[in-house]
Amino acid sequence: MLKVNNIGKIVKKAVIVTISSLTVLGGLTLRQAKPVDADYINDKIVMPDDSLGYTKDNLMHWRDNPVTKQELTRASIVGMSYNDSHSAGDTRKTKHDRKVVDMKHLSGRDRRELAHFTVRLINSARESEDMPDWTYTSNAERFAMDTAKYYTQDHAGDSDSDHDVHAILKAARKNGLRTDLGQVYEDESGFNVVPHARYSTMWHAKLMLRFNIEQMLFGGWTSRRLSKKVYYKDLKNPSRYTEWDHANDLINQGEREVGVAFSVRGNDEVSVHILSVPQEYIVDSDLYYR
């Protein structure tokens, strides 16, 4: 369980950090830290300490209040800084990590490796807030893969203004899940939209997945990512932190089965589909557990 407070100390588990910069933002002293060892692209998220106001209760009640959103923003800046995937090194790469994969036609092994990596990241954040793990299952995986397939058929993707509700509910119906509640299953993200993004090394795919989970947990943070200089300027810019609905989903929902799948639009846009299913939303067990 990793948490960080606002003075650059990791609490509840000790790690070695170096201080790379010091910034004062609205009375908050922010030390931007980078782990010393090369084993940085890992499956653990460092969460802001409770004293900064980032808790599961505050995510539920503060995220729509203009005043208290400022507290979540300050805590999220700390969170993004301590989980700085942009500066991850490459010394841990194995031969398998260097393998180039086509995100549109992943092998079962590679797809599950990336999916399980994503779920471990989510569960590390949930554990820090004393929430039970989500469980990756073949049933939820099938639901996620059907959703990704229908996204592709609809020519939809993460850069659209909203979820492809048609695709999600079509997949829900096929898998014996409730459809009367609307879109209650998906948290969607995406890789950077760049030429030929569908072709990626496994290492880069994991790096992007980690970055996507960081974004979801810490204010839906967005950056122009034009350069490292712009990236770090955006990292400290409160206006780049806009929503905590995804964080509330990932942290506050109870026990669920979860599946992860990918869709590709053109050659340049990779979408990540995280579908979570509570038991009470299963209305046809024969379909869901087939």
Contacts of 211 (CB under 8 A, 6+ apart): 85, 86
CA atoms within 13 A on the CB side of 32: 17
**Of 40-49, 63-72, 144-153, which has the strongest mean pLDDT?**
144-153
Q: Is the pLDDT of residue 23 over 80?
A: no
What's the CA gap between 232 and 23, in Å, rounded? 11
Question: What pLDDT score was predicted for residue 39?
Answer: 40
Question: What pLDDT score was predicted for residue 277?
Answer: 98
Q: Is the pLDDT of residue 33 over 50?
A: no
Instruction: Go through the chain and tell me how many residues it has.
Output: 290
Tell me the pLDDT tens digit for each residue of 217-255. Answer: 999 888 766 677 888 888 899 999 999 999 999 999 999
Question: What pLDDT score was predicted for residue 29?
Answer: 34
Q: Looking at 8-12, 172-176, 209-213, which range is the least confident one?
A: 8-12
The structure's pTM equals: 0.85
Contacts of 178 (CB under 8 A, 6+ apart): 172, 184, 281, 283
Question: What pLDDT score was predicted for residue 163?
Answer: 97
Q: Is the pLDDT of residue 87 over 60?
A: no
* Cβ 96 vs Cβ 203: under 8 Å: no
* Cβ 208 vs Cβ 225: under 8 Å: no
Query: What letter would DSSP give residue 278?
Result: -
Q: Phi then psi for 151, rounded to 5 degrees?
A: -60, -45
Question: What pLDDT score was predicted for residue 85?
Answer: 62
Q: Is the pLDDT of residue 167 over 80?
A: yes
Buried b (16+ CB within 10 A) or exposed e, 138-174: ebbbbbbbbbbbbbbeeebbbebeebbeebbbbbbeb
Q: What mean pLDDT is reported for the chain?
A: 83
Domain spans of the chain?
3-288
Question: What pLDDT score was predicted for residue 36?
Answer: 30
Tell me the pLDDT tens digit for each residue of 141-155. Answer: 999 999 999 999 999
Question: What pLDDT score was predicted for residue 11?
Answer: 31
Question: What pLDDT score was predicted for residue 88?
Answer: 54
Q: Which band of pLDDT confidence, cut at 50, 70 and 90, is reported for residue 279? A: very high
The CA R_g of the chain, rounded to the nearest whole Å, is 19
Q: Looking at 108-117, 172-181, 186-195, which range is the least confident one?
A: 186-195
Query: What letter would DSSP give residue 254?
Result: -
Q: Phi then psi for 4, rounded to 5 degrees?
A: -130, 140
Q: Is the pLDDT of residue 76 over 50?
A: yes
Amino acid at 262: F
Residue 122, number of CB atoms within 10 A of its CB: 25
